[in-house]
Structure 1
Amino acid sequence: MVFGRGNLTRAADKDVVLPNGPEDSISALRWSPLANRLAAASWDGKIYIYDTTNTTSTETVKGVAAITVGSPVLDCDFSKDGAIVAGAAADKKIHLMDLNTSQTVALEAHTSPVRAVRFVQVPSANAPIIASGSWDKTVRYWDMRQPQPIGALQLPERVYSMDASGPLLAAATADNHLHLVDLHGNPLQLFKSVKSPLTHQTSSISVCADGSRWAIGGIDGRSAAQVVHEKDKSLDNLQFKCHREPHPTKKNHTDVYAVNAVAYSPAHKDVLATAGSDCTYSVWDVRRRHRIRSFPKAAAPITALAFSPDGMALAYAVGYDWAKGYQHNTAAAERKIVLHQFAEALKK
């Protein structure tokens, strides 16, 4: 289906470019749940942390720290108290920094690159738990006080994307399946595995704040949103076209772009943002099935995005998306992180 179109962003909204940005493509953006801090994972081998308390201009945003990993960082996350940042890296490790002490530690995590990392809520555990998803076909759980994983979940294929919130962990794998885990039940067992509703490879996944829904984006310019429990028919297996546009010269021909990121708003589970290789991002109301906002094109693909905890800001990253291989990733390519601040709440 095609959603109804909304208006372009209003003039009262505001964009601020964050200072001293990464030197290579940004793979992930994550907000601290308790503070005005934003983490950015980059292919330049670093994780950047910003203080966004004062966002009146680029000059007022402060860089808090930069964690040097030394190999491409594919994902990042904050602990629930905002004190620790974790990064998933191509060197097969999870890299951690305590922002209060600046101490760093690396966990020898997997036998292949770590694609995703999340701090998760496991009520049966007596400590904060980290979940990591890897190309070695496992999701592993970590107590930061121990050097070895406290548990592992075997999957049929490589983890291409993973997210978690509330009781739900959701992982998209290379065989185009989605695997759901009940973290409040048995974190070491899948409670559901389904074939992706998208025909082509899943490129991104997001779980809403209460863990009742998940949404995915695909390489074919489509997204889908579904509820976890079948008795809730509110989305009714929603699928929609998003990052596509008519070809400028070929009649009846459509250019299709990958959906590089999807993100639910923590403030409202009906609000979903998508970002694509067409250099655009949009915000959607998945229940009412229409586009809330669309935005002008950036100078390069949007590679990552994330809503602030209150839903009043959306951070997005502009940069090379690797679609044409490493040889096209030049030093001259524009790379930046932008904070888009909404003038009013997207949902009332």
Structure 2
Amino acid sequence: MLQQQQQPQPKDFEVQPNCPDGISDLHFSPTSELLAVSCWDGNTRIWEVMPNGSANAKVEIAHGAPSLCVRFSADGSKLFSGSADKTGKIMDLTTGQTIQAVQHDAPFRCVRWLNYGNTNGMLVTGGWDKTLRYWDLRQPTPAHVAQLNDRVYAMDSMQNLLVVGCANREVVLYNLNNPQQSVKTLESPLKFQTRTLACFPDARGFAIGSVEGRVGIQYVEAKDNGLNFSFKCHRDDKNIFSVNSIQFHPVLGTFSTAGSDGGFNFWDKDSKQRLKAFPVTGIPIPCSAFSRTGNIFAYAQSYDWSKGVDGSLQGTKHQVMLHATKDEDVRPRPAKGKR
């Protein structure tokens, strides 16, 4: 009897042209196949991902300093790009016009468009000036400024939930029914610096990752606290790597992690198991994103500054890769031992 040979994993597509400097953030449009990429060379670039996996360069937003965060609006008509020059710009994708829209007193780090209740169509930005700022873009000044205890390192929102991770391992939660007042402040369940976080698709909680190669699954309501847990990842026998990016699949609710080891994995938090592990390349992955249907997983290969200036090597290649997801790799599974 002949033994069936295992088919090799299809190669991921490399987006061309490559970025000339480090890559800081990725985001897919929720309404089209556009992919935005922010870069340390001071530019945010937009590519259109084609059905065959290739990508066509479209337009750019130029800053006077590194571009650190990007986000498409919910209707896909606008793209926000925040920079280390303390300004945020918005491109209208229907006209191609770009305006300077918002400002912080220190570099931007995070941005989200809000589309819940009274915040519908508003923008929230988090910066290294230890503030969270809500913007009604019809006005030149913030609608509200929330003072935080430290710099914003990570942020995400889903439905009525906004979660902000700060430099001091503090995590601040907001209910967008009343966005001007935080509802809870807690210490990260992880012992070291927060690197990334992502809200659950049902807004019942969030996943948080740190520089210690660990992820925490955290529920908001006290009645769900028994479901909280953490697990180790992005480690080998000798090294512990930073978890740089957590992304939830937009349809299935499973999630990915990507880290400084150059590897990414798909997980199911409900059955507490890893669905798929991919080969570690050794080139750090600083950021990643699922497309609107989840059929494409984009990830950057670029230095992530996890080892400071000493770890930055001249000649390092900075690239965005497109991985076609397989259903069996991202679909939830029953907990082990249950059928």
CA change 1:221–1:299 in 2 (3 A) is closer
Shift of 1:209: 2.6
Report how far residue 116 of structure 1 moved. 0.4
Aligned partner (choices 14, 17, 20) of residue 17 of structure 2: 20
Counterpart Cα distance in 2 of 1:325 and 1:78: 30
| Residue 65 (structure 2) aligns with | 71
Q: Does 1:230 align with 2:247?
A: no
The answer to whether the 8 A contact 1:36-1:52 is kept is: yes
2:49 to 49, 52, 57: 52
Distance 2:113 2:143 in 1: 14
Taking the aligned partners of 1:98 and 1:311, their CA distance within structure 2 comes to 25
For the pair 1:168 / 2:161, whether they are aligned, the reply is yes
SS of the equivalent of 1:21 reads coil
**1:300 match:** 283
Cα deviation 1:144-186 (Å, max 9, x = unaligned): 2221111121211111111112111110011111111111x10
Structure 1 position 192 matched with structure 2 position 184: yes
**Counterpart-to-counterpart distance in 2, 1:194 and 1:243:** 25
Alignment match, 1:258: 242
Q: Structure 1 CA distance, aligned partners of 2:126 and 2:108?
A: 6
**Distance in 2 (alpha carbons) for counterparts of 1:213 and 1:15:** 32
What's the CA shift string for 1:55-75, capped at 9, x where partnerless?
A: x243xx211211111211111
Q: Verify the 8 A CA contact 1:298 1:318 in the aligned structure 2.
A: no
Deviations 1:41-66 (A, max 9, x none): 11111111111132x243xx211211
CA deviation after TM superposition for structure 1 residue 303, in Å:
0.8
Give the TM-score normalised by structure 1: 0.89
* One-letter amino acid of the counterpart of residue 82, structure 1: G
Q: CA deviation at 1:326?
A: 3.0
Q: Is the 8 A contact 1:280 1:297 kept in 2?
A: yes
Gapped regions of structure 1 (runs ≥ 5): 1-8, 248-254
Aligned equivalents of 1:108, 1:309: Cα separation in 2:
27
Map of 2:235 onto structure 1? 244
1:221 maps onto 2:213 in alignment: yes
Aligned equivalents of 2:155, 2:106: Cα separation in 1: 16
Distance 1:210 1:10 in 2: 36
Counterpart for residue 139 of structure 2: 146
**Cα pair 2:82 2:88 within 8 Å, conserved:** yes
Aligned mates of 2:237, 2:311 — CA distance in 1: 24
CA distance in 1, matches of 2:98, 2:43: 13
C-alpha distance in 1 between matches for 2:10 and 2:162: 33
Is the 8 Å Cα contact of residues 303 and 319 (structure 1) preserved in structure 2? yes
Matches of 1:331 and 1:106, distance apart in 2: 33
CA contact (8 A) 1:301 1:319 kept: yes
Aligned partner of 2:154: which letter?
S
Output the CA distance in 1 between the equivalents of 2:7 and 2:242: 26
Asked if the contact 2:200/2:248 (under 8 Å) is kept, the reply is yes
Q: Are 2:42 and 2:62, in contact at CA under 8 Å, matched by a contact in 1? A: yes
The equivalent position to 1:206 in structure 2, one of 189, 192, 198, is: 198
Residue 318 (structure 2) aligns with: 335
Partner deviation per Cα, 1:300-338 (whole Å, 9 max, x = no partner): 111111112222221100011112333543441021101
Aligned 8 A contact 1:51 1:62 in 2? yes
Does residue 129 of structure 1 match 2:122?
yes
1:122–1:129 Cα contact (<8 Å) kept: no
Contact 1:208 1:266 in 2 (8 A): no
Task: Kindly provide the amino acid, as one letter, of the partner of residue 260 in structure 1.
Answer: N
RCO higher in structure (CA 8 A, sep ≥6): 1
Residue of structure 2 in register with 1:32 after alignment: 29
What is the Cα-based RMSD across aligned positions, in Å? 1.8
Do the aligned partners of 2:159 and 2:203 also contact (CA within 8 Å) in 1? yes
Q: Is the contact between residue 208 and residue 265 of structure 1 (CA under 8 Å) also seen in structure 2?
A: no
Q: Helix, strand or coil: the match of 2:222?
A: coil
* Selected match of 2:256 from 273, 297, 305: 273
**Equivalent pairs: percent with the same residue?**
35
1:114 alignment partner, one of 103, 108, 114:
108
**Residues 1:10 and 1:243: Cα distance change in structure 2 (over 3 Å):** farther
Q: Which amino acid aligns with 1:93?
A: T
AA of the residue aligned to 1:163: D
